[in-house]
Amino acid sequence: MSIGNSPEDDRPSIGRALQQARIAAGLTVEEVSSSTRVRIPIVHAIEQDDFSRCGGDVYARGHIRTLARAVGLDPEPLVEEYDADHGGRPAPTPAAPLFEAERIRSEPRRPNWTAAMVAAIVAVIGFVGFTLLSGEDEPSNTAQIAEGSKPDKTAAKPTATKPSASKPVPSESAIAAAPRDKVTVKLSADRGKSWISAKDHNGRLLFDGLLLQGESKTFQDKERIDLVLGDAGAIELFVNGKQVEDRFGPGQVERLSYTKGDPEAG
């Protein structure tokens, strides 16, 4: 008696599913490569379930998502299948808070109660002395009033003070300002959600996960921040206190690198 294959065994592989969806959509490999900016050899390799040319699991997941969107597939089941076939996805490392990586926190100082008591005693003595001196001056002023002294009509009238000029409202660049001795990158998902990956100059993974619409992440390093954006068109970038111009289309995968200089795509 033969045993039939289960439905899971009949399900096409990741590459086969992407290839079938591309053919069904009437697209060529060249057209998919042009719309996603994934190089043609990599598209061919992925459709043959060869992910060795992607450069690692992080880039492979990004390519799968991008190609799936381009041919009209839901990318999440394909990414889950990839993770199941390649040992699972590592737990994302939470993004390092701004200035937290290299900030040295000093131990809290204990309050100096002796100095506080001395200052309080000095203040009390000064107040008592001022009160006594003011009391000695009051009789002479009273005597002058009793003798019929008239107030000086020529006394200068208080001059109206002009209101101080309103403080300038800080500009957006000032709000996003960052120290010049470090590179600071802020990502905001203003136009949709996007998968992102961020590494420092040593290649240490700072974040690898999905940034939902309305969320933002800030990364900082003393030399360089390397980024991979799964959907660069959904992300707004601030680098070293300056907003990077929107040059990315929807669903576009971008690999960027920024240093302490002016914003410049790597």
pLDDT mean for each 10 residues of the chain (266 residues): 50 91 94 95 95 93 95 94 81 50 54 80 83 60 43 51 48 55 87 89 91 92 88 84 77 83 60
Is 221 a domain residue? yes
**What are the φ/ψ torsions at residue 75 (nearest 5 degrees)?**
-75, -20
Note the pLDDT of residue 161.
Answer: 54
Note the pLDDT of residue 233.
Answer: 83
- Residue whose C-alpha is closest to residue 248's, from 264, 230, 232, 226: 232
Note the pLDDT of residue 67.
Answer: 96
Domain count, the chain: 2
H-type alpha helices, the chain: 7-10, 14-24, 29-36, 40-47, 57-70, 75-85, 113-146, 172-175
**In angstroms, rounded to a whole number, what is the distance separating the alpha carbons of residues 234 and 152?**
74
Is 124 a domain residue? no
Is 119 a domain residue? no
Is 91 a domain residue? no
**In angstroms, rounded to a whole number, what is the distance separating the alpha carbons of residues 242 and 194?**
21
What's the predicted TM-score (pTM) here? Answer: 0.35
Is 184 a domain residue? yes
Contact present, 63 and 46 (Cβ < 8 Å): yes
Q: Is 17 helix (H, G, I), strand (E, B) or coil?
A: helix
Is 132 a domain residue? no
Which two three-digit tokens encode residue 168?
């300038």
Where is the domain boundary, 70, 85, 100? 85
Sheet architecture: strand order including 183-189: 216-221, 183-189, 235-239, 242-243
Is 2 a domain residue? no
Q: Which range marks the domain in which residue 42 is found?
A: 10-85
CATH number at residue 41: 1.10.260.40
